């Protein structure tokens, strides 16, 4: 499957003091609807930044798989800094992950889809204490973008879980199927939908409250 819509996010922003992995939108949330919020997101730095990071940096097909995997696990950015999502993981643990990943290159070569990449990354993450769920997700997206694999389900945690709960979405094993998303969010693809749920949690809550008040 082709990665038609680039899928890093959890919320493609540095973690904020509240512990959430995404910076919330500053939209007032008034006089809006879900379709408008989606349009706003597509015009945002969060959306455009993910497209660039995944395709132009982590998904750079001019790299060997070994180099792309090393870059993904080390969470390196073009400016040489550690990706904001992994600031709690730190460089030392990220380097350990990258070292372990070298022994799994053949598994990555044999992977047939995003979910298999997710499983392999999970096996590696499990060997480094406190590497975290977000690193598991982000690194899978980075390597998945290299292979151009689609993410087929929305994996929700932290702020994204809260956003999904506000919309009353069915969450099973930390996942929401694309079919269970509102049509407006289905148009984003799985990873961008996850990012949207995280960033726009507050607006979704306001929108939901506004609809309840109209009943």
Which pLDDT score, from 0 to 100, does residue 17 have? 31
Return the HEC string of 7-75. CCCCCCCCCCCCCCCCCCCCCCCCCCCHHHHHHHHHCCHHHHHHHHHHHHHHCCCCCCHHHHHHHHHHC
Residue 210 has pLDDT above 80, yes or no: no
Q: Are 74 and 94 in contact (CB under 8 A)?
A: yes
Higher pLDDT, 102 or 160: 102
What's the sign of the alpha-carbon dihedral 189, 194, 200, 203?
positive
CB atoms within 10 A of CB 215: 4
Please give the average per-residue pLDDT across 175-203, as a whole number.
91
Q: In which element (H, E) is residue 175 found?
A: strand 175-177
Q: pTM for this one? A: 0.78
Q: How far apart are the C-alpha atoms of 108 and 69, rounded to whole Å?
A: 9
190: closest CA among 61, 10, 19? 10
């Amino acid at each position: 499957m082709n990665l038609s819509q680039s899928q890093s996010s959890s919320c493609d922003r540095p973690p904020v003091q509240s512990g959430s992995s995404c910076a919330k939108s500053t939209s007032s949330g008034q006089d809006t609807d879900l379709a408008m919020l989606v349009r706003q997101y597509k015009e945002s730095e969060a959306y455009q930044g993910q497209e660039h990071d995944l395709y132009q940096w982590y998904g750079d097909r001019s790299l060997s798989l070994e180099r792309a995997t090393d870059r993904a696990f080390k969470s390196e950015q073009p400016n040489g800094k550690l990706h904001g999502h992994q600031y709690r993981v730190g460089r030392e643990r990220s380097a350990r992950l990258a070292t372990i990943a070298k022994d799994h290159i053949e598994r990555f070569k044999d992977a047939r889809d995003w979910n298999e990449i997710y499983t392999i990354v999970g096996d590696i993450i499990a060997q480094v204490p406190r590497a975290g769920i977000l690193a598991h997700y982000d690194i899978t997206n980075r390597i998945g973008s290299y292979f151009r694999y689609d993410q087929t389900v929305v994996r929700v945690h932290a702020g994204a879980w809260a956003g999904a709960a506000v919309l009353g979405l069915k969450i099973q094993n930390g996942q929401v199927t694309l079919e269970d998303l509102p049509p407006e969010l289905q148009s984003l693809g799985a990873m961008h939908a996850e990012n949207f749920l995280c960033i726009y949690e507050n607006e979704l809550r306001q929108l939901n409250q506004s609809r309840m008040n109209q009943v």
